């Protein structure tokens, strides 16, 4: 129980004080996030094949960096010219995943009991956050979907988070270093759900995460 409470506090604190995933000059954090979502919507709907290819690549590689830079360099027509937007590669991947998932799956998965099926991750410590959220999406797809569909910092999001916090804790290996705020969690869970529901992620395997 203590681990669950600690994890919940960490995510809540990150949501309240961490810098937003994108910073726009003269724009509020909420407006910055909406601008980033608008850019992702434009990219996903304008270049859906490339959006899917981005999620098929391993995160934080030179290949994904090049695609990210190409995508944001061709953003003319996708953003209001009055704002200047900068973002991290992982943040862009997250909002692209969120948009692609919501555009592809209009209905949530069935609300089934939370599974405790064993899960084996990638074994790559740099991908711990992706492994943990894939585990969550496979053990509680309805809860993960509910969180992704809820507006950022809303009462609905808070309720969804309370459901999946124990699942996140159960999917996190001892000693693992994971870090994400609520905005990042939206993207991570969206990518995990998209891969699980599209069959592009391996199902939970024997072993432990």
What would you report as the CA-atom Rg of the chain, rounded to the nearest whole angstrom?
A: 16
User: Shortest CA distance to 50 belongs to which of 106, 104, 96, 103?
Assistant: 96
* CA proximity to 97, closest of 188, 184, 198: 188
Please state the rounded mean pLDDT for residues 148-168: 95
In 3D space, the residue among 81, 96, 98 whose CA is nearest the CA of residue 39 turns out to be 96
- Rounded percentage of the chain residues whose pLDDT exceeds 90: 40
Question: What phi and psi values does residue 141 have, to the nearest 5 degrees?
Answer: -60, -35
Burial classification of residue 47, based on how many CB atoms lie within 10 Å of its CB (0-12 exposed, 13-18 middle, 19 or more buried): middle
**Has residue 148 got a pLDDT over 90?**
yes
CA dihedral 17, 88, 129, 140 (to 10 degrees): 80
SS3 letters for 149-200?
HCCCCCHHHHHHHHHHHHHHHHHCCCCCCCCCCHHHHHHHHHHHHHHHHHCC
Cα–Cα distance for residue pair 100/83, rounded to 1 Å: 24
Q: Are 166 and 8 contacting, i.e. CB atoms less than 8 angstroms apart? A: no
Pair 167, 114: CB distance under 8 Å: yes
* Dist. CA 146–CA 132, nearest whole Å: 17
Question: What integer pLDDT is reported at residue 117 of this predicted model?
Answer: 85
- Contact in structure between 109 and 197 (CB atoms under 8 Å): yes
Could you tell me the pLDDT band of residue 4, with boundaries at 50, 70 and 90? very low
pTM of the model: 0.80
pLDDT digits (tens, 9 = 90+) for 15-59: 443 444 444 444 566 777 788 888 889 889 888 998 999 999 888
- Residue 207 is classified by DSSP as S
Q: pLDDT digits over 49-95, tens only? A: 989 999 998 888 888 888 877 776 665 556 554 455 667 888 889 99
């Amino acid at each position: 129980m203590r681990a669950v409470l600690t994890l919940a506090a960490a995510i809540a604190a990150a949501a309240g004080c961490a810098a937003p995933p994108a910073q726009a000059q003269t724009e509020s954090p909420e407006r910055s996030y909406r601008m980033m979502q608008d850019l992702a919507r434009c990219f996903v709907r304008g270049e859906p094949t490339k959006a899917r290819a981005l999620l098929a690549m391993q995160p934080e590689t030179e290949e994904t960096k090049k695609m990210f830079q190409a995508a944001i360099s061709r953003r003319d027509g996708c953003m209001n010219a009055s704002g200047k937007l900068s973002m991290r590669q992982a943040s862009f991947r997250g909002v692209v995943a969120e948009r692609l998932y919501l555009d592809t799956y209009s209905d949530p998965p069935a609300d089934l009991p939370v599974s405790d099926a064993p899960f084996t991750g990638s074994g790559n410590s740099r991908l711990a956050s992706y492994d943990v959220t894939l585990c969550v999406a496979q053990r509680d797809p309805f809860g993960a979907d509910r969180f992704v569909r809820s507006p950022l910092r809303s009462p609905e999001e808070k309720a969804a988070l309370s459901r999946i916090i124990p699942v996140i804790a159960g999917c996190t290996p001892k000693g693992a270093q994971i870090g994400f705020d609520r905005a990042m969690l939206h993207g991570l869970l969206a990518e995990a759900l998209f891969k699980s529901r599209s069959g592009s992620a391996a199902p939970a395997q024997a072993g432990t995460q």
